[in-house]
Structure 1
Amino acid sequence: MSTVVQPSVAERSEAEALFRFQTETPDTVRTTLGMSATRIGGGVVLSMRNDTTHFWSKALGFGATAPVTAELIGEVCDFYRAEGTSQAVLQIAPAFLPEEWQEICEQEGIDPTSSSSWVKLACPTDEAVARADALDMTPDRIHVAPLEADQAPEWGTVMMRAYGMPVEQYAEMGAATATRPGWHPFAAWLDGEIVGTGTLFVQGETAQMFAGAVLPHARKRGGQTALLAARARVAQELGCRVLIAETGAEAPGTRNSSLHNMLRLGFEAVYERRNWSWHLTHDEH
Protein backbone atom coordinates (compact mmCIF):
# COMPACT_ATOMS: atom_id res chain seq x y z
CA MET A 1 0.00 0.00 0.00
CA SER A 2 1.49 3.31 -1.06
CA THR A 3 1.72 6.03 1.54
CA VAL A 4 0.89 9.55 0.41
CA VAL A 5 1.87 11.96 3.17
CA GLN A 6 2.40 15.64 2.54
CA PRO A 7 5.73 17.01 3.81
CA SER A 8 3.78 19.56 5.82
CA VAL A 9 2.04 16.79 7.78
CA ALA A 10 5.25 14.82 8.31
CA GLU A 11 7.20 17.88 9.44
CA ARG A 12 4.55 19.17 11.83
CA SER A 13 4.19 15.74 13.43
CA GLU A 14 7.87 15.50 14.33
CA ALA A 15 8.22 19.17 15.29
CA GLU A 16 5.31 19.14 17.70
CA ALA A 17 6.48 15.91 19.35
CA LEU A 18 9.98 17.28 19.85
CA PHE A 19 8.64 20.61 21.12
CA ARG A 20 6.46 18.83 23.67
CA PHE A 21 9.26 16.45 24.64
CA GLN A 22 11.61 19.31 25.51
CA THR A 23 9.18 21.86 26.94
CA GLU A 24 7.51 19.33 29.26
CA THR A 25 10.83 18.76 31.01
CA PRO A 26 10.90 19.74 34.72
CA ASP A 27 11.99 23.34 35.38
CA THR A 28 15.06 22.25 37.35
CA VAL A 29 16.32 20.24 34.37
CA ARG A 30 15.50 23.02 31.92
CA THR A 31 17.50 25.46 34.02
CA THR A 32 20.51 23.17 34.39
CA LEU A 33 20.63 22.36 30.68
CA GLY A 34 19.89 25.93 29.61
CA MET A 35 16.75 24.99 27.70
CA SER A 36 14.46 27.40 25.90
CA ALA A 37 12.03 27.15 23.01
CA THR A 38 9.89 29.31 20.76
CA ARG A 39 7.67 29.09 17.69
CA ILE A 40 8.65 30.99 14.55
CA GLY A 41 6.98 30.96 11.15
CA GLY A 42 4.97 27.85 11.86
CA GLY A 43 8.03 25.89 13.00
CA VAL A 44 9.65 25.26 16.37
CA VAL A 45 13.05 26.45 17.56
CA LEU A 46 14.61 24.52 20.44
CA SER A 47 17.74 25.50 22.31
CA MET A 48 19.72 23.58 24.91
CA ARG A 49 22.66 25.85 25.68
CA ASN A 50 24.47 23.42 28.01
CA ASP A 51 23.97 20.30 25.90
CA THR A 52 27.25 18.38 25.73
CA THR A 53 25.86 16.15 22.95
CA HIS A 54 24.96 19.03 20.61
CA PHE A 55 21.87 17.05 19.58
CA TRP A 56 18.93 18.84 21.16
CA SER A 57 19.23 22.37 19.74
CA LYS A 58 17.09 22.06 16.63
CA ALA A 59 14.86 24.15 14.41
CA LEU A 60 12.27 22.29 12.34
CA GLY A 61 8.69 22.18 11.09
CA PHE A 62 9.06 25.08 8.68
CA GLY A 63 7.33 25.50 5.33
CA ALA A 64 3.96 24.04 6.28
CA THR A 65 2.12 27.30 6.99
CA ALA A 66 4.56 29.96 5.75
CA PRO A 67 7.39 29.96 3.18
CA VAL A 68 11.00 29.57 4.26
CA THR A 69 12.56 32.98 3.67
CA ALA A 70 15.78 34.78 4.52
CA GLU A 71 13.85 36.77 7.12
CA LEU A 72 12.49 33.63 8.80
CA ILE A 73 15.90 31.92 8.96
CA GLY A 74 17.45 35.16 10.21
CA GLU A 75 14.92 35.22 13.05
CA VAL A 76 15.72 31.60 13.91
CA CYS A 77 19.47 32.26 14.02
CA ASP A 78 18.96 35.46 16.00
CA PHE A 79 17.11 33.41 18.61
CA TYR A 80 20.11 31.11 18.95
CA ARG A 81 22.48 34.08 19.12
CA ALA A 82 20.39 35.66 21.87
CA GLU A 83 20.38 32.39 23.82
CA GLY A 84 24.15 31.98 23.45
CA THR A 85 23.65 28.58 21.82
CA SER A 86 26.99 27.43 20.42
CA GLN A 87 25.53 25.31 17.62
CA ALA A 88 22.22 24.08 16.29
CA VAL A 89 20.75 22.02 13.47
CA LEU A 90 18.17 23.29 11.01
CA GLN A 91 15.99 20.54 9.54
CA ILE A 92 13.89 21.60 6.55
CA ALA A 93 12.11 19.28 4.14
CA PRO A 94 13.63 19.55 0.65
CA ALA A 95 10.25 20.60 -0.77
CA PHE A 96 10.39 23.74 1.37
CA LEU A 97 13.97 24.89 0.70
CA PRO A 98 13.91 28.19 -1.21
CA GLU A 99 15.90 28.77 -4.40
CA GLU A 100 18.14 31.22 -2.54
CA TRP A 101 19.03 28.71 0.19
CA GLN A 102 22.76 28.90 -0.59
CA GLU A 103 22.73 32.68 -0.14
CA ILE A 104 20.78 32.36 3.12
CA CYS A 105 23.35 29.88 4.42
CA GLU A 106 26.20 32.27 3.63
CA GLN A 107 24.39 35.17 5.26
CA GLU A 108 23.57 33.36 8.51
CA GLY A 109 26.65 31.17 8.93
CA ILE A 110 24.93 27.89 8.12
CA ASP A 111 27.28 25.19 6.84
CA PRO A 112 26.13 24.40 3.27
CA THR A 113 28.36 21.31 3.10
CA SER A 114 26.64 19.49 5.96
CA SER A 115 26.47 15.88 4.79
CA SER A 116 24.35 13.98 7.33
CA SER A 117 20.74 13.30 6.46
CA TRP A 118 17.66 11.77 7.99
CA VAL A 119 15.03 9.67 6.24
CA LYS A 120 11.43 10.67 6.84
CA LEU A 121 9.15 7.63 6.78
CA ALA A 122 5.41 7.08 6.83
CA CYS A 123 3.07 4.13 6.91
CA PRO A 124 -0.71 3.62 6.96
CA THR A 125 -1.47 2.43 10.47
CA ASP A 126 -3.58 -0.48 9.24
CA GLU A 127 -0.72 -1.63 7.00
CA ALA A 128 1.77 -1.70 9.87
CA VAL A 129 -0.61 -3.67 12.08
CA ALA A 130 -1.43 -6.12 9.29
CA ARG A 131 2.27 -6.74 8.65
CA ALA A 132 2.97 -7.17 12.34
CA ASP A 133 0.17 -9.73 12.56
CA ALA A 134 1.25 -11.60 9.41
CA LEU A 135 5.00 -11.75 9.97
CA ASP A 136 6.71 -13.89 12.59
CA MET A 137 7.87 -11.09 14.87
CA THR A 138 8.02 -12.90 18.20
CA PRO A 139 11.08 -11.40 19.91
CA ASP A 140 13.74 -13.59 21.53
CA ARG A 141 13.09 -13.42 25.31
CA ILE A 142 11.98 -9.79 24.93
CA HIS A 143 8.66 -8.72 26.44
CA VAL A 144 7.06 -5.43 25.34
CA ALA A 145 4.29 -3.72 27.31
CA PRO A 146 2.95 -0.24 28.13
CA LEU A 147 5.02 1.62 30.70
CA GLU A 148 3.76 2.07 34.25
CA ALA A 149 4.21 5.51 35.82
CA ASP A 150 6.57 4.27 38.54
CA GLN A 151 8.87 2.81 35.89
CA ALA A 152 9.44 6.18 34.18
CA PRO A 153 12.81 6.99 35.86
CA GLU A 154 14.34 3.67 34.78
CA TRP A 155 12.78 4.04 31.33
CA GLY A 156 14.28 7.51 30.87
CA THR A 157 17.70 6.22 31.90
CA VAL A 158 17.54 3.34 29.42
CA MET A 159 16.45 5.72 26.64
CA MET A 160 19.50 7.92 27.06
CA ARG A 161 21.90 5.00 27.52
CA ALA A 162 20.57 3.36 24.35
CA TYR A 163 21.24 6.56 22.40
CA GLY A 164 24.70 6.94 23.92
CA MET A 165 23.78 10.11 25.79
CA PRO A 166 24.55 11.23 29.35
CA VAL A 167 22.13 10.05 32.01
CA GLU A 168 22.26 12.92 34.50
CA GLN A 169 19.52 15.47 33.72
CA TYR A 170 18.85 13.88 30.32
CA ALA A 171 17.18 10.79 31.81
CA GLU A 172 14.77 12.98 33.74
CA MET A 173 13.95 14.79 30.51
CA GLY A 174 13.21 11.46 28.87
CA ALA A 175 11.04 10.27 31.74
CA ALA A 176 8.99 13.46 32.01
CA THR A 177 6.61 12.73 29.12
CA ALA A 178 5.76 9.22 30.31
CA THR A 179 2.64 10.39 32.14
CA ARG A 180 1.75 13.38 29.97
CA PRO A 181 -1.42 13.54 27.82
CA GLY A 182 -0.90 12.60 24.20
CA TRP A 183 2.06 10.29 24.89
CA HIS A 184 1.88 6.49 24.90
CA PRO A 185 5.15 5.02 26.24
CA PHE A 186 6.22 1.38 25.93
CA ALA A 187 9.15 -0.56 27.33
CA ALA A 188 10.94 -3.74 26.33
CA TRP A 189 12.09 -6.10 29.09
CA LEU A 190 14.75 -8.79 29.07
CA ASP A 191 15.02 -10.97 32.17
CA GLY A 192 13.12 -8.43 34.25
CA GLU A 193 15.26 -5.47 33.15
CA ILE A 194 14.07 -2.61 30.94
CA VAL A 195 16.29 -2.77 27.86
CA GLY A 196 14.31 -0.79 25.30
CA THR A 197 12.10 2.26 25.00
CA GLY A 198 9.61 3.71 22.57
CA THR A 199 6.78 6.17 22.79
CA LEU A 200 4.04 7.42 20.53
CA PHE A 201 2.83 11.00 20.26
CA VAL A 202 -0.70 11.32 18.92
CA GLN A 203 -2.17 14.34 17.16
CA GLY A 204 -5.55 13.69 15.58
CA GLU A 205 -5.12 11.09 12.84
CA THR A 206 -1.31 11.25 12.94
CA ALA A 207 0.89 9.22 15.29
CA GLN A 208 4.57 10.07 15.69
CA MET A 209 7.03 7.29 16.55
CA PHE A 210 9.50 8.66 19.09
CA ALA A 211 12.50 7.52 21.16
CA GLY A 212 12.62 3.94 19.93
CA ALA A 213 15.91 2.42 21.09
CA VAL A 214 17.33 -0.77 22.62
CA LEU A 215 20.44 -1.21 24.76
CA PRO A 216 23.39 -2.80 22.91
CA HIS A 217 23.40 -6.06 24.86
CA ALA A 218 19.72 -6.66 24.04
CA ARG A 219 19.80 -5.92 20.32
CA LYS A 220 19.21 -8.40 17.49
CA ARG A 221 16.41 -10.05 19.46
CA GLY A 222 13.47 -8.34 17.73
CA GLY A 223 12.89 -5.83 20.51
CA GLN A 224 12.80 -2.73 18.36
CA THR A 225 10.39 -4.27 15.88
CA ALA A 226 8.16 -5.40 18.75
CA LEU A 227 8.16 -1.84 20.11
CA LEU A 228 7.15 -0.53 16.68
CA ALA A 229 4.36 -3.09 16.35
CA ALA A 230 2.98 -2.40 19.84
CA ARG A 231 2.81 1.32 19.17
CA ALA A 232 1.20 0.77 15.77
CA ARG A 233 -1.56 -1.26 17.41
CA VAL A 234 -2.25 1.48 19.95
CA ALA A 235 -2.32 4.07 17.15
CA GLN A 236 -4.90 1.95 15.35
CA GLU A 237 -7.02 1.69 18.50
CA LEU A 238 -6.89 5.49 18.82
CA GLY A 239 -8.07 6.00 15.25
CA CYS A 240 -4.77 7.26 13.84
CA ARG A 241 -4.62 6.96 10.07
CA VAL A 242 -0.88 7.30 9.52
CA LEU A 243 2.38 6.66 11.37
CA ILE A 244 5.35 9.02 11.00
CA ALA A 245 8.98 8.27 11.87
CA GLU A 246 12.57 9.37 11.18
CA THR A 247 15.94 7.70 11.28
CA GLY A 248 19.43 8.27 9.95
CA ALA A 249 20.00 7.83 6.24
CA GLU A 250 22.42 5.07 5.30
CA ALA A 251 25.82 6.33 4.19
CA PRO A 252 27.61 4.23 1.55
CA GLY A 253 28.85 0.99 3.09
CA THR A 254 26.71 1.30 6.24
CA ARG A 255 23.48 -0.32 7.38
CA ASN A 256 20.88 1.23 9.67
CA SER A 257 18.98 -1.64 11.29
CA SER A 258 16.29 0.78 12.55
CA LEU A 259 15.54 1.80 8.98
CA HIS A 260 15.22 -1.80 7.82
CA ASN A 261 13.02 -2.72 10.78
CA MET A 262 10.59 0.03 9.79
CA LEU A 263 10.66 -0.89 6.09
CA ARG A 264 9.85 -4.50 7.00
CA LEU A 265 6.82 -3.29 8.93
CA GLY A 266 5.51 -1.37 5.91
CA PHE A 267 7.02 2.08 6.35
CA GLU A 268 8.06 3.85 3.16
CA ALA A 269 10.76 6.48 2.78
CA VAL A 270 8.99 9.74 1.90
CA TYR A 271 12.11 11.89 1.50
CA GLU A 272 15.60 12.49 2.83
CA ARG A 273 16.25 15.68 4.76
CA ARG A 274 19.64 17.24 5.27
CA ASN A 275 20.84 18.37 8.69
CA TRP A 276 22.07 21.94 8.21
CA SER A 277 24.57 22.97 10.91
CA TRP A 278 24.66 26.49 12.33
CA HIS A 279 27.49 27.62 14.61
CA LEU A 280 27.85 30.71 16.76
CA THR A 281 30.93 32.57 15.57
CA HIS A 282 33.59 33.96 17.90
CA ASP A 283 32.46 37.47 17.04
CA GLU A 284 28.94 36.65 18.21
CA HIS A 285 29.92 35.24 21.61
Structure 2
Amino acid sequence: MTTTVPVDVAELTEIKAYIDFATSAPATVQEALGLGVSRTGPAQALAVREDPSYFFNRAGGFGTGRPITADDLIPLCDFYREHGVAQGSLMIAPPLLPPDWAGTAAELGLTEGSRFVKLGRDLDTADAGIPALPADWRIGVVEAWQAHEWATVMQTTFGFTAPDLIEMAASFVGKENWRQYAVWDADRIVAVGSVFFHGECAHMFAGATHPDARGRGAQSALIAARLRAAAAEGCRWIVAETGAEGPGEHNPSLHNLLRAGFEPMYDRANWQWHA
Protein backbone atom coordinates (compact mmCIF):
# COMPACT_ATOMS: atom_id res chain seq x y z
CA MET A 1 0.00 0.00 0.00
CA THR A 2 1.41 3.36 -1.02
CA THR A 3 2.17 5.77 1.80
CA THR A 4 -0.22 8.71 2.14
CA VAL A 5 2.24 11.21 3.64
CA PRO A 6 1.90 14.53 1.76
CA VAL A 7 5.03 15.80 0.02
CA ASP A 8 4.93 19.20 1.75
CA VAL A 9 4.60 17.56 5.20
CA ALA A 10 7.48 15.19 4.48
CA GLU A 11 9.79 17.97 3.33
CA LEU A 12 8.89 20.41 6.10
CA THR A 13 9.37 17.77 8.81
CA GLU A 14 12.85 17.01 7.50
CA ILE A 15 14.17 20.59 7.48
CA LYS A 16 12.56 21.32 10.84
CA ALA A 17 14.39 18.32 12.30
CA TYR A 18 17.76 19.61 11.08
CA ILE A 19 17.13 23.14 12.33
CA ASP A 20 15.85 21.98 15.71
CA PHE A 21 18.85 19.66 16.03
CA ALA A 22 21.42 22.36 15.23
CA THR A 23 19.87 25.13 17.31
CA SER A 24 19.93 22.92 20.40
CA ALA A 25 23.61 23.80 20.74
CA PRO A 26 24.64 26.37 23.36
CA ALA A 27 25.04 29.93 22.11
CA THR A 28 28.83 29.69 22.35
CA VAL A 29 28.88 26.60 20.11
CA GLN A 30 26.46 28.18 17.63
CA GLU A 31 28.69 31.25 17.45
CA ALA A 32 31.83 29.16 16.98
CA LEU A 33 30.18 27.21 14.17
CA GLY A 34 28.79 30.33 12.49
CA LEU A 35 25.29 28.89 12.72
CA GLY A 36 22.35 30.76 11.22
CA VAL A 37 18.71 30.02 10.37
CA SER A 38 16.34 31.53 7.82
CA ARG A 39 12.58 31.02 8.16
CA THR A 40 11.38 33.54 5.58
CA GLY A 41 9.55 32.73 2.37
CA PRO A 42 8.28 29.29 1.34
CA ALA A 43 11.21 27.37 2.83
CA GLN A 44 13.55 27.20 5.82
CA ALA A 45 17.33 27.09 5.72
CA LEU A 46 20.25 26.24 7.99
CA ALA A 47 23.81 27.52 7.62
CA VAL A 48 26.82 26.20 9.54
CA ARG A 49 29.79 28.18 8.25
CA GLU A 50 32.46 26.09 10.01
CA ASP A 51 31.21 22.76 8.67
CA PRO A 52 33.92 21.77 6.14
CA SER A 53 31.66 19.14 4.58
CA TYR A 54 28.88 21.68 3.81
CA PHE A 55 26.41 18.93 4.79
CA PHE A 56 24.49 21.07 7.26
CA ASN A 57 24.09 24.00 4.85
CA ARG A 58 20.66 23.03 3.61
CA ALA A 59 17.30 24.52 2.70
CA GLY A 60 14.03 22.61 2.44
CA GLY A 61 10.34 22.60 3.23
CA PHE A 62 9.20 24.02 -0.08
CA GLY A 63 5.51 23.46 0.59
CA THR A 64 4.09 26.25 -1.54
CA GLY A 65 1.44 24.14 -3.31
CA ARG A 66 2.81 25.43 -6.62
CA PRO A 67 6.04 25.09 -8.60
CA ILE A 68 8.77 27.25 -7.13
CA THR A 69 10.28 30.23 -8.93
CA ALA A 70 13.61 32.01 -8.95
CA ASP A 71 12.07 34.67 -6.69
CA ASP A 72 11.47 31.96 -4.06
CA LEU A 73 15.11 30.88 -4.14
CA ILE A 74 17.01 34.18 -4.39
CA PRO A 75 16.51 34.98 -0.65
CA LEU A 76 17.99 31.58 0.26
CA CYS A 77 21.05 32.17 -1.92
CA ASP A 78 21.40 35.60 -0.31
CA PHE A 79 21.13 33.97 3.13
CA TYR A 80 24.03 31.64 2.38
CA ARG A 81 26.08 34.49 0.95
CA GLU A 82 25.46 36.69 3.99
CA HIS A 83 26.55 33.88 6.34
CA GLY A 84 29.80 33.36 4.49
CA VAL A 85 29.28 29.73 3.54
CA ALA A 86 31.04 28.39 0.46
CA GLN A 87 28.28 25.98 -0.56
CA GLY A 88 24.67 25.30 0.32
CA SER A 89 22.10 22.76 -0.86
CA LEU A 90 18.52 23.46 -1.92
CA MET A 91 16.47 20.30 -1.41
CA ILE A 92 13.38 20.53 -3.58
CA ALA A 93 10.94 17.66 -4.12
CA PRO A 94 10.53 16.87 -7.84
CA PRO A 95 6.76 17.65 -7.86
CA LEU A 96 7.62 21.26 -6.96
CA LEU A 97 10.16 21.81 -9.74
CA PRO A 98 8.79 24.05 -12.52
CA PRO A 99 8.79 22.91 -16.16
CA ASP A 100 11.58 25.39 -16.92
CA TRP A 101 13.72 24.28 -13.96
CA ALA A 102 16.89 23.98 -16.05
CA GLY A 103 16.66 27.69 -16.86
CA THR A 104 15.95 28.64 -13.25
CA ALA A 105 18.90 26.58 -12.01
CA ALA A 106 21.19 28.15 -14.60
CA GLU A 107 20.01 31.65 -13.68
CA LEU A 108 20.95 31.07 -10.03
CA GLY A 109 24.13 29.11 -10.74
CA LEU A 110 22.78 25.91 -9.18
CA THR A 111 24.37 22.57 -10.03
CA GLU A 112 23.01 19.08 -9.38
CA GLY A 113 24.82 17.26 -6.58
CA SER A 114 24.15 13.95 -4.88
CA ARG A 115 20.73 12.32 -4.99
CA PHE A 116 18.67 11.04 -2.10
CA VAL A 117 15.66 8.75 -1.90
CA LYS A 118 12.78 10.20 0.12
CA LEU A 119 10.85 7.42 1.86
CA GLY A 120 7.72 7.35 3.95
CA ARG A 121 5.28 5.01 5.58
CA ASP A 122 2.01 5.17 7.42
CA LEU A 123 1.86 4.30 11.11
CA ASP A 124 -1.70 2.98 11.21
CA THR A 125 -0.70 -0.64 11.62
CA ALA A 126 0.99 -2.34 14.54
CA ASP A 127 4.59 -3.40 14.02
CA ALA A 128 6.33 -6.51 15.20
CA GLY A 129 8.75 -6.30 18.10
CA ILE A 130 12.37 -5.23 18.03
CA PRO A 131 14.46 -7.63 15.90
CA ALA A 132 16.81 -9.88 17.82
CA LEU A 133 20.33 -8.63 18.51
CA PRO A 134 23.47 -10.57 19.46
CA ALA A 135 23.22 -11.95 22.98
CA ASP A 136 25.59 -9.41 24.51
CA TRP A 137 23.95 -6.38 22.84
CA ARG A 138 21.07 -4.26 24.10
CA ILE A 139 19.04 -1.32 22.80
CA GLY A 140 17.65 1.56 24.82
CA VAL A 141 16.95 5.26 25.15
CA VAL A 142 20.00 7.48 25.65
CA GLU A 143 20.27 9.41 28.91
CA ALA A 144 21.80 12.88 29.28
CA TRP A 145 24.98 11.55 30.91
CA GLN A 146 25.58 9.36 27.83
CA ALA A 147 25.15 12.23 25.37
CA HIS A 148 28.80 12.87 24.54
CA GLU A 149 29.64 9.24 23.80
CA TRP A 150 26.45 8.89 21.76
CA ALA A 151 27.17 12.08 19.79
CA THR A 152 30.76 11.04 19.15
CA VAL A 153 29.62 7.77 17.59
CA MET A 154 26.99 9.58 15.52
CA GLN A 155 29.17 12.36 14.18
CA THR A 156 32.47 10.55 13.66
CA THR A 157 30.75 7.68 11.85
CA PHE A 158 29.51 10.25 9.34
CA GLY A 159 32.93 11.90 9.19
CA PHE A 160 32.08 14.98 11.28
CA THR A 161 35.02 14.99 13.67
CA ALA A 162 35.24 18.66 14.71
CA PRO A 163 34.66 19.02 18.49
CA ASP A 164 32.02 21.73 18.03
CA LEU A 165 30.03 19.51 15.65
CA ILE A 166 30.13 16.72 18.22
CA GLU A 167 29.04 19.14 20.94
CA MET A 168 26.16 20.29 18.70
CA ALA A 169 24.96 16.69 18.47
CA ALA A 170 25.35 16.05 22.20
CA SER A 171 23.24 19.11 22.99
CA PHE A 172 19.98 17.77 21.58
CA VAL A 173 19.93 14.53 23.57
CA GLY A 174 16.75 14.53 25.66
CA LYS A 175 15.27 17.56 23.92
CA GLU A 176 11.49 17.86 23.68
CA ASN A 177 10.02 16.29 20.51
CA TRP A 178 13.03 14.00 20.14
CA ARG A 179 14.01 10.49 21.20
CA GLN A 180 17.58 9.21 20.92
CA TYR A 181 18.39 5.50 20.93
CA ALA A 182 21.59 3.49 21.06
CA VAL A 183 22.73 -0.09 20.78
CA TRP A 184 25.34 -1.11 23.34
CA ASP A 185 27.86 -3.91 23.10
CA ALA A 186 28.44 -4.39 26.83
CA ASP A 187 29.17 -0.79 27.97
CA ARG A 188 30.17 0.56 24.55
CA ILE A 189 27.78 2.35 22.19
CA VAL A 190 28.11 0.81 18.72
CA ALA A 191 25.07 2.22 16.91
CA VAL A 192 22.79 5.25 17.22
CA GLY A 193 19.56 6.68 15.83
CA SER A 194 17.09 9.45 16.59
CA VAL A 195 13.48 10.26 15.78
CA PHE A 196 11.90 13.73 15.61
CA PHE A 197 8.19 14.22 16.33
CA HIS A 198 6.46 17.00 14.37
CA GLY A 199 2.72 16.83 14.83
CA GLU A 200 1.31 14.07 12.63
CA CYS A 201 4.68 13.30 11.07
CA ALA A 202 7.91 11.90 12.49
CA HIS A 203 11.36 11.94 10.92
CA MET A 204 14.09 9.28 11.13
CA PHE A 205 17.33 11.11 11.89
CA ALA A 206 20.99 10.11 11.72
CA GLY A 207 21.10 6.36 12.02
CA ALA A 208 24.75 5.30 12.21
CA THR A 209 26.65 2.15 13.15
CA HIS A 210 30.33 1.92 14.04
CA PRO A 211 32.15 0.15 11.19
CA ASP A 212 33.20 -2.84 13.30
CA ALA A 213 29.58 -3.50 14.36
CA ARG A 214 27.83 -3.44 10.99
CA GLY A 215 25.85 -6.29 9.53
CA ARG A 216 24.57 -7.57 12.88
CA GLY A 217 21.09 -6.03 12.96
CA ALA A 218 21.70 -2.84 14.96
CA GLN A 219 20.07 -0.48 12.48
CA SER A 220 17.05 -2.74 11.94
CA ALA A 221 16.52 -2.76 15.70
CA LEU A 222 16.91 1.02 15.89
CA ILE A 223 14.43 1.53 13.05
CA ALA A 224 11.87 -0.69 14.78
CA ALA A 225 12.31 1.14 18.09
CA ARG A 226 11.78 4.50 16.41
CA LEU A 227 8.70 3.29 14.54
CA ARG A 228 7.17 2.20 17.82
CA ALA A 229 8.08 5.52 19.47
CA ALA A 230 6.49 7.54 16.64
CA ALA A 231 3.31 5.48 16.81
CA ALA A 232 3.17 5.91 20.59
CA GLU A 233 3.48 9.69 20.11
CA GLY A 234 0.37 9.61 17.92
CA CYS A 235 2.14 10.32 14.64
CA ARG A 236 0.28 9.35 11.48
CA TRP A 237 3.34 9.12 9.22
CA ILE A 238 7.09 8.75 9.41
CA VAL A 239 9.65 9.78 6.79
CA ALA A 240 13.34 9.22 6.10
CA GLU A 241 15.91 9.88 3.42
CA THR A 242 19.08 8.11 2.39
CA GLY A 243 21.47 8.04 -0.51
CA ALA A 244 20.09 6.87 -3.86
CA GLU A 245 21.76 3.87 -5.43
CA GLY A 246 23.67 4.33 -8.64
CA PRO A 247 24.44 1.53 -11.10
CA GLY A 248 26.20 -1.28 -9.27
CA GLU A 249 25.81 0.40 -5.87
CA HIS A 250 24.22 -1.05 -2.74
CA ASN A 251 23.09 1.19 0.12
CA PRO A 252 22.38 -0.96 3.21
CA SER A 253 20.48 1.90 4.87
CA LEU A 254 18.02 2.00 1.99
CA HIS A 255 17.34 -1.72 2.17
CA ASN A 256 16.96 -1.63 5.96
CA LEU A 257 14.24 1.00 5.54
CA LEU A 258 12.49 -0.93 2.77
CA ARG A 259 12.41 -4.05 4.93
CA ALA A 260 10.84 -1.98 7.71
CA GLY A 261 7.91 -1.04 5.49
CA PHE A 262 9.09 2.30 4.14
CA GLU A 263 8.19 3.05 0.53
CA PRO A 264 10.14 5.27 -1.87
CA MET A 265 8.30 8.52 -2.57
CA TYR A 266 10.78 10.07 -5.03
CA ASP A 267 14.44 10.64 -5.75
CA ARG A 268 15.49 14.17 -4.86
CA ALA A 269 18.59 15.95 -6.07
CA ASN A 270 20.61 18.27 -3.86
CA TRP A 271 20.81 21.46 -5.92
CA GLN A 272 24.01 23.15 -4.88
CA TRP A 273 24.62 26.87 -4.64
CA HIS A 274 28.28 27.98 -4.65
CA ALA A 275 29.66 31.26 -3.39
TM-score normalised by L of structure 2: 0.95
Shift of residue 84, structure 1, vs aligned partner: 1.5
Code of the aligned partner of 2:132: T
Q: Report whether the alignment pairs 1:198 with 2:193.
A: yes
Tell me if 1:138 matches 2:136: no
In 2, Cα distance between the equivalents of 1:237 and 1:170?
A: 31
Match of 1:262 in 2: 257
Aligned residue number for residue 231 of structure 1: 226
Rounded Cα–Cα distance in structure 2 between residues aligned with 1:149 and 1:54: 28
Q: Distance in 1 between matches of 2:137 and 2:254?
A: 20
Query: Following the alignment from structure 2 to structure 1, what is the Cα–Cα distance between the partners of residues 149 and 32?
Result: 20
In structure 2, the residue matched to 1:276 is 271
CA distance in 2, matches of 1:142, 1:214: 13
Q: Which residue of 2 aligns with 1:122?
A: 120
Q: CA 1:38 to 1:65, structure 2 compared with 1: closer, same or farther past 3 Å?
A: farther
- Give a deviation string over 1:210-254, Cα, whole Å, max 9, x none: 111111011111001101111111111111111111101011111
Q: 2:240 aligned with 1:242, yes or no? A: no
SS for the counterpart of 2:166 is helix
Amino acid at match of 1:189: W
> Residue type of the partner of 1:47?
A
| Alpha-carbon displacement from aligned partner over 1:20-67 (angstroms, at most 9, x marks no partner) | 111222111111111111113231111111211121101111134665
Displacement after TM superposition at 1:260 (Å): 0.3
Please list, as runs of the form range in 1=range in 2, the aligned pairs for 1:53-92 lying within 5 A after superposition: 53-64=53-64, 67-92=67-92
Out of 213, 232, 255, which is 2:208 matched to?
213
Alignment partner, residue 34 of structure 2: 34
The corresponding residue for 2:95 is 95
Seen in structure 2, the aligned counterparts of structure 1 residues 17 and 5 have a Cα distance that, compared at 3 Å, is same
Corresponding residue to 1:182 among 169, 172, 177: 177
Q: Secondary structure at the match of 1:40?
A: coil
**1:99, 1:126 → 2: CA distance?**
35
* Contact preservation (8 Å) 1:153, 1:171: yes
Identity over aligned residues, as a percent?
43
The structure carrying a bigger helix percent of its residues is: 1
Secondary structure class of the residue paired with 2:241: strand
Poorly superposed stretches of 4+, deviation over 4 Å: none
**Contact 2:15–2:45 (8 Å) recurs in 1:** no
Residue in structure 2 matched with residue 48 of structure 1 by the alignment: 48
- Structure 2 residue aligned with 1:9: 9
**What root-mean-square deviation, in Å, do the aligned CA atoms of Structure 1 and Structure 2 show?**
1.5
How far the C-alpha of 1:186 sits from its partner, in A, is 0.8
Q: How many positions carry a matched residue from both structures?
A: 274
Is 1:163–2:158 an aligned residue pair?
yes
The secondary structure found in structure 2 opposite 1:21 is helix
Q: Match of 2:146?
A: 151
Write the distance in 2 (CA, Å) between the matches of 1:205 and 1:80.
31
Q: Secondary structure at the match of 2:180?
A: strand
Q: Comparing 98-107 with 18-27, which one deviates more in the overlay?
A: 98-107
Q: How far is 1:126 from its partner? A: 4.2
Aligned residue type for 1:33: L
Aligned partner of 1:169: which letter?
D
Conserved in 2, the CA contact under 8 Å of 1:12 and 1:64? no
Structure 1: state its 5+ residue gaps.
281-285
Match of 2:108 in 1: 108
The residue type paired with residue 163 of structure 1 is F
Letter in structure 2 aligned against 1:180? K
| Cα pair 2:191 2:207 within 8 Å, conserved | yes
